[in-house]
Amino acid sequence: MSNHPNSGEKVIEDKILHILENFPKVSPSMLQISLGSGIPTALWQPILERLIVDGAIHRYQRTVRAPSGRAQVVTVISNMLDDGSDT
């Protein structure tokens, strides 16, 4: 994929960035739901990867405790760096 997205890619990129303006920390599945079923993962995933490589957004993993006490590793997509908080 080139560094100059075509108009369809630009629309998806704009949607991803807009979602992260409103919800600054989301999981990949939450991002998929926010983008809608009309945009398959195969279309938005490469655009997300480019945004991460370019430093426009961040992806990190965090270990959290479920209410049951079980530890889970979650993936977070964010428009901010991981500050170590759970908010």
Q: DSSP letters along 29-84, please?
A: HHHHHHH-TTS-HHHHHHHHHHHHHTTSSEEEEEEEE-TTS-EEEEEEEESS---S
Residue 1, in any domain of the structure: no
Whether residue 12 lies inside any domain: the answer is yes
For residue 87, is it within any domain? no
Let me know if residue 24 belongs to a domain: yes
Question: What residues make up the domain containing 59?
Answer: 7-78
Confirm whether 32 is domain-assigned: yes
Residue 71 is assigned to a structural domain of this protein: yes
pLDDT digits (tens, 9 = 90+) for 4-54: 557 889 999 999 999 999 999 999 999 999 999 999 999 999 999 999 999
Find out whether 60 and 82 touch, Cβ atoms under 8 Å.
yes
pLDDT of residue 85: 57
Number of domains the chain contains: 1
- The domain that holds 60 is classified in CATH as 1.10.10
